[in-house]
Structure 1
Amino acid sequence: MASSPTLPRDPRRAALIAVVALAAIVLAALGAQALIAQIAGDRGIAPVAASGDIQVGGVEVDVTAKTAEEAREEGWREAMKLAWKKIGGPAIPDGQLYSMVSSVVIESEELGANRYIARLGVVFDRARAGGLLGRGEAVQHSAPLLLVPVLVTGGTQTVYEIRNPWQRAWAEYQPGASRIDYVRPTGAGSDSLLVTYGQTTRRSRTWWRNVLDQFGASDVLIAIADLDYQYPGGPVRGTFTARYGPDDTFLGSFSMTAPSQAALPRMLDQAVLRLNSMYEQALNDGKLKPDPTLNLGTPQIDPAIQRLIELGRAADAQERARAAAAAANDVAASPAPTPSETGAPAVVNSFTVQFPSPDAAAFEGAVASIRAAIGVRGGAVTSTAIGGVSVMNVSFAGDAAGLAAALKARGYNVRQSGNTLSISR
């Protein structure tokens, strides 16, 4: 029997297959690196520790002396006097003034043979200086507020994806003397995934509550710096905007210009101070009150509706009392029934509920529906997986069978395994 002829191999087809296979391998490797790069890398800038001391920055000195060391010492003493004058301190002897300084911060300096040019920050001890400045009294402070510093440049919005000068300006800001209780993430690890510019555009209270719970904050402040570089090394124009809350409420805006990129850090430091003043003014005006809709555990009820609920409960109690009295009259002549145990109040137990969350709307709907089930005392989301299966920890007055029945009454199909219930529509 004759064998079938072998077809000649097409070299172009073989080369195409090899190229496609190589491209697939490269894309898979890049995809894996991209997933790791979302949280890996040296991206975080730890904020400075807050203290209650009085800090004065941006004090410029230009001093000459016999030696560089003497010029530097004289420059520091001059900076202390200028800083004290800048915050409105009264006239006091130099020795007393120097004793109230806890530290000197070097923002920039240039040393010569007999000249010292610098921009310094001076920190006064509040315990010693507060009485002279009239700042020893208690003042109103805000609730803990999560700070989201957004940098807009070149059409790109950045928060913690990479280190940037706006993040650094807020990290280096000393908020001890501010009346705003800032919660400043470091930006490392999962912070770059939780706190993004896209998060500031969401209005979902469920999403915001999950983010705020991670940082122990009550609400959110959004500080936006929109930088326009005129040309490389040239002036930088910045537009700074203060916003507040999950609804991105506008509080104020202003513009500043740095003469060069080298002067950009100083402009950003000044912008941070002005934004802090805006937030303090908003606090004075009563605009920084925590949003009650972010507290999902205690929903707000209209007083009129609450009154109707109370009237309904009172009428129901009266009806039950009349029914009990009628039943007592009916059985008065009958033999007493065998005593039975008095029903004990239901014990609140904790259960795990798994539910599909293909999108944000389905996630929010499921969370609200589970919390509204009869007998549910509370529910906290422990794992959010949009496009997958999310998990809640549910407190229920009863056992697992009772919770399953309550969820079935809400229209769910329930599968039970011990204290874990899986639900679906």
Structure 2
Amino acid sequence: MQLVKKNLKALGALAALALGATGILYAQQEDPQNPRDFGFDVSANYEVTGITVDASGENAEDARRIAWTRAERVGWRMLWNRITGGHSNSAPNLSDESLSAIVTGIIVEEEQIGPTRYVARLGVMFDRARASRYLGVSGVIRRSPPMLVVPVQWIGSTPQGFEERTPWQNAWVRFRTGESPIDYVRASASGATPMLLTVGQTGRPGRGWWRFLLDSYGAADVVVPVVHLQYSYPGGPVVGRFVAYHGPDRTLITQFSLRVRSSDSLDQLLDAGVSRIDAAYAAALEDGRLRPDPSLNFEFGIDEDALEEALDQLDESVAQAPRTTVEAVNTEQATSTGRYTIQVVTPDANAVRSSEAAVRGTPGVRGASTSSLAVGGVSLMEVNYIGDLDTLASALAARGFTVQRGAGTLRISRAAPPESE
């Protein structure tokens, strides 16, 4: 589906003649494999789809104008029936000018353009605030807490998340959330997202790293919609098995299957899957199943007792050091500020935050930030320090780190806690 702005110029009748009566023409065409990330529709709109129109006119442009006007009228009656529950014939009779004022766009689902005929299946988007005046409703709906959505697509035995753009991601980009009670947080598939929101991450129950990710994207919880695509043969029927999960523990919300006769209709299959999953999440919100996991509601902290102990050890080591050595260090600190890249062993998410906090609290350090993150491996940290590398190594050792000196760099780690019997 494409969203066609009302003020787009209609295609000329000459182009319609060239296509012929059976040609299908799409306006505002974009590459479906690479839609623009800023194409999310986050406005509050009412949307009515599946309106079939068949109109004739003096030429192709006139036929389409008549069909779109007719779709607005039919869409208004359908919206009235859906929102108020009243019969569509009881909807207020609005003039074409009034309808034009509350319609924000036409959705072209399918269309065929001939020399003097226009056949299509359309959708109409109505501005919620303006339409509510005629509908007698406030236009306010209950919304869920922000939910980070991580779409996962399977083809055969190969899963894909944000590692590269997939048709399933594109379907969530196209989805308009104006009428959904779910406050979806849709990440842009650029920057660090492909490294952070991986397929493997959706199966990790550890709350610490999830809390870090949710804080980074401004969300309170996560939903993971999954689709398994099965192709009968190239260009043939496609079956999509959809599964909707919620939370780090992958609580099952719904599952179902859909089928289309041709792979050319894959977008329609996925769009229908998104709509049904959204409806399932909305039902779960209504009955209380879709609520933020309380175990995600915590903040990373610093062990204050350990920090005080480390500072006491540092003070004691400085007091016992020869005076000339201390004065030499102070002289160096007063004249030299260096920026060093050090390696930090980070076995888990807590190690990332606690290591940063401990390094920042080291005397002489004027700033520390993780420049390359590798949870379960070795991350890189940029450190601004008033002094040379040897002095920084001594200061970090005094903070309780195990320090290894390499060629122009340091590698630091914390001792692993003893295993319980």
Q: 1:357 aligns with which of 345, 364, 370?
A: 345
1:55 partnered with 2:47? yes
Amino acid at match of 2:378: G
Distance change >3 Å, CA 212–CA 115, structure 1 → 2:
same
Distance change >3 Å, CA 57–CA 406, structure 1 → 2:
farther
Rounded Cα–Cα distance in structure 2 between residues aligned with 1:258 and 1:392: 52
Rounded Cα–Cα distance in structure 1 between residues aligned with 2:166 and 2:411: 45
Q: Using the TM superposition, give the Cα deviation of residue 49 of structure 1 relative to its aligned residue in structure 2, in angstroms.
A: 3.4
SS of 2:151's equivalent?
strand
Q: 1:278 aligns with which of 264, 277, 280?
A: 280
**Residues 196-205 or 284-293, more deviating:** 284-293
Q: Using the TM superposition, give the Cα deviation of residue 367 of structure 1 relative to its aligned residue in structure 2, in angstroms.
A: 6.0
Q: Using the TM superposition, give the Cα deviation of residue 83 of structure 1 relative to its aligned residue in structure 2, in angstroms.
A: 2.1
Q: Which residue of 1 aligns with 2:157?
A: 155
Distance change >3 Å, CA 229–CA 148, structure 1 → 2:
same
Q: Using the TM superposition, give the Cα deviation of residue 247 of structure 1 relative to its aligned residue in structure 2, in angstroms.
A: 0.8
Structure 1: gaps spanning 5 or more residues? 1-41, 300-353, 394-402
Rounded Cα–Cα distance in structure 2 between residues aligned with 1:424 and 1:220: 31
Rounded Cα–Cα distance in structure 1 between residues aligned with 2:352 and 2:170: 40
Q: Which residue of 1 aligns with 2:257?
A: 255
Q: Which residue of 1 aligns with 2:184?
A: 182
Q: Deviations over 1:375-413 (max 9, x none)?
A: 9xxxx99564332146699xxxxxxxxx999965xxx65
SS of 1:237's equivalent?
strand
Q: Deviations over 1:248-303 (max 9, x none)?
A: 1110111111121222212222221111111111111222222222233289xxxx
CA contact (8 A) 1:404 1:421 kept: no
Amino acid at match of 1:276: D
Structure 2: gaps spanning 5 or more residues? 1-32, 82-89, 302-341, 362-367, 384-394, 405-409, 416-421
Q: Which residue of 2 aligns with 1:230?
A: 232
Alpha carbon RMSD of aligned pairs, Å? 3.6
Q: Which residue of 2 aligns with 1:68?
A: 60
SS of 2:228's equivalent?
strand
Q: Deviations over 1:134-160 (max 9, x none)?
A: 441533211111111111113211122
Amino acid at match of 1:92: P
Amino acid at match of 2:50: G
Amino acid at match of 1:84: W
Q: Which residue of 2 aligns with 1:212?
A: 214
The residue correspondences of 1:40-119 to structure 2 (distance < 5 A) are 45-46=36-37, 47-89=39-81, 90-95=90-95, 96-119=98-121
The residue correspondences of 1:23-422 to structure 2 (distance < 5 A) are 45-46=36-37, 47-89=39-81, 90-95=90-95, 96-297=98-299, 356-357=344-345, 359-360=347-348, 364=350, 382=370, 384-385=373-374, 386-389=376-379
Q: Using the TM superposition, give the Cα deviation of residue 421 of structure 1 relative to its aligned residue in structure 2, in angstroms.
A: 12
Q: Using the TM superposition, give the Cα deviation of residue 213 of structure 1 relative to its aligned residue in structure 2, in angstroms.
A: 2.2
Rounded Cα–Cα distance in structure 2 between residues aligned with 1:249 and 1:265: 27
SS of 1:88's equivalent?
helix
Rounded Cα–Cα distance in structure 2 between residues aligned with 1:131 and 1:121: 21
1:424 partnered with 2:410? no
SS of 1:271's equivalent?
helix
Task: With the length of structure 1 as denominator, give the TM-score of the two structures.
Answer: 0.63
Q: Using the TM superposition, give the Cα deviation of residue 112 of structure 1 relative to its aligned residue in structure 2, in angstroms.
A: 0.2
SS of 1:51's equivalent?
coil
Rounded Cα–Cα distance in structure 1 between residues aligned with 2:214 and 2:381: 18
Rounded Cα–Cα distance in structure 1 between residues aligned with 2:34 and 2:300: 37
CA contact (8 A) 1:68 1:115 kept: yes
Q: Using the TM superposition, give the Cα deviation of residue 183 of structure 1 relative to its aligned residue in structure 2, in angstroms.
A: 0.8
Distance change >3 Å, CA 258–CA 85, structure 1 → 2:
farther
Q: Using the TM superposition, give the Cα deviation of residue 94 of structure 1 relative to its aligned residue in structure 2, in angstroms.
A: 4.4
Q: Using the TM superposition, give the Cα deviation of residue 365 of structure 1 relative to its aligned residue in structure 2, in angstroms.
A: 6.6
Distance change >3 Å, CA 192–CA 76, structure 1 → 2:
same
CA contact (8 A) 2:254 2:280 kept: yes
Larger Rg: 1 or 2?
1
Q: How many correspondences in the alignment?
A: 310
Q: Using the TM superposition, give the Cα deviation of residue 170 of structure 1 relative to its aligned residue in structure 2, in angstroms.
A: 0.8
Rounded Cα–Cα distance in structure 2 between residues aligned with 1:120 and 1:366: 51
Q: Using the TM superposition, give the Cα deviation of residue 116 of structure 1 relative to its aligned residue in structure 2, in angstroms.
A: 0.8
Q: Using the TM superposition, give the Cα deviation of residue 359 of structure 1 relative to its aligned residue in structure 2, in angstroms.
A: 3.5
Task: With the length of structure 2 as denominator, give the TM-score of the two structures.
Answer: 0.64
Distance change >3 Å, CA 406–CA 293, structure 1 → 2:
farther
CA contact (8 A) 2:205 2:249 kept: yes
Rounded Cα–Cα distance in structure 2 between residues aligned with 1:207 and 1:44: 30
